[in-house]
Amino acid sequence: MQVSKDALGEFFKNFRSVDLAAGLTGGLTSTLCCHPLDIVKIRLAVNDGFKSRPYYENIRHICKSIYKNGGVFGFYQGVTPNLIGASASWGLYFYFYNAFKKFWANDGTSQPKILSPGTHMFSAALSGAVTLAFTNPVWVAKTRLCLQYESNSANGPSAKPRGQVVMYRGFVDCLLKTYRLEGVKGLYSGFSAGLIGVSHGAFQFMAYEEMKKWHRRKYSSNASNQKHSSEEVKLATKWYLLFSASSKFFAVVITYPYQVVRARLQDQHRVQHGVAHVVKYTYTQEGMRGFYKGLLPSMVRVVPATCITFVVYEEFSSAFK
């Protein structure tokens, strides 16, 4: 991909605060709406029968246990790091992603060009890696707070093992204790799996951009003028909903196993020895099915959350452009 020196010099001018603000707003809104489903997804993902944690039979069993011991507020355990992490992640992701897109599109030619699916994937993957470097400690804290099981579970297969205590008093306490006990390595547990997981965003954004490109070609009144242009045209909300849901579904089906591996690497109840060890252990004990634990609640959670995030982002961004 040829890029002129002038275009390289203009790179940092591609960063726009409106992209950051729009992403932050979208992430905040979707997290407030969908956090309860995130708790269910995480607990199913690590539900491997290990004795130091409750065993859940199904989604209904998890919801019943959480509500019985914590009421409605029980479903918002770990919401603080999730709000911080999701808002920061979406804000930074859109911030870097749009900057990279503009950089590749403005390569010194007289008119911005339309980008290929491969360029969209590369921009999204690069944005995901940079964003993860900033936010991984937040996701570690969120996972561990979501896995801080209820202290008064009823007797039975979901009962909390005796002697287990509440380890973290909140988000900051979790970060401090993780750092004190495990160092920087603890704060970046699951980072390698997360890097693999940037492929999720790459697939999602590639599909999303291609759907919008298809819409412009098919329905735009001046499609011939847009053949070589990367300019965005505001779509009706229904199209953003359809494209964001479809692209997220596509990405989740392809990349879900890494989320299970990442959650298990960040789980404070087990001592893991890296990605290869988790993959081997999960496959040996649970087969391929183990890599898709929590897929249904994940779909139920991430598809609406993505729709909310993208619609809020697109509307916010369009209003301030």
Could you give the angle at the alpha carbon of 232 between the alpha carbons of 209 and 300, nearest 5°? 40
Q: Quick one: DSSP state of residue 234? A: P
What local confidence, expressed as pLDDT, does residue 15 receive?
85
Three-state secondary-structure class, residue 106: coil
Alpha helices in 57-197 (DSSP H): 59-70, 79-105, 117-146, 171-187, 191-196
Nearest partner of 30 among 313, 260, 316, judged by Cα: 313
- Alpha-carbon distance values, 84 to 26, 142, 146, 287 (Å): 12, 9, 15, 34
Token pair in block for residue 225: 């003028």
What local confidence, expressed as pLDDT, does residue 135 receive?
92
Q: Quick one: DSSP state of residue 12? A: G
Distance CA 301, CA 270 (A): 26
Q: Quick one: DSSP state of residue 127? A: H
What is the phi/psi pair of residue 255, to 5°? -115, 5
Taking only the tens of pLDDT, the chain with its 321 residues reads 455 555 555 667 788 889 999 999 999 999 888 888 888 877 777 776 666 667 787 788 888 888 888 888 888 887 888 888 889 999 999 999 999 988 888 765 556 678 889 999 999 999 999 999 999 999 898 888 877 766 544 334 444 444 455 688 888 999 999 999 999 999 998 888 788 778 889 999 999 999 999 998 887 655 444 444 445 678 899 999 999 999 999 998 888 888 788 778 777 666 667 788 888 888 888 888 888 887 887 788 789 989 999 999 999 988 886
pTM, 2 dp: 0.72
The CATH number assigned to the domain holding 17 equals 1.50.40.10
Token pair in block for residue 68: 């019985």
What local confidence, expressed as pLDDT, does residue 227 receive?
46
Q: Torsion over CA of 219, 220, 222 and 224, rounded to 10 degrees?
A: -60
Task: Note whether 35 and 297 are within 8 A (CB).
Answer: no
What local confidence, expressed as pLDDT, does residue 187 receive?
93
For residue 260, count CB atoms less than 10 angstroms from its CB and return exposed for 0-12, middle for 13-18, buried for 19 or more.
buried
Domain count, the chain: 1
Token pair in block for residue 21: 């603000």
What local confidence, expressed as pLDDT, does residue 6 receive?
58
What local confidence, expressed as pLDDT, does residue 24 receive?
94
Which residue range(s) make up the domain with 245? Answer: 5-320
Distance CA 210, CA 250 (A): 13
What local confidence, expressed as pLDDT, does residue 9 receive?
57
For residue 218, count CB atoms less than 10 angstroms from its CB and return exposed for 0-12, middle for 13-18, buried for 19 or more.
exposed
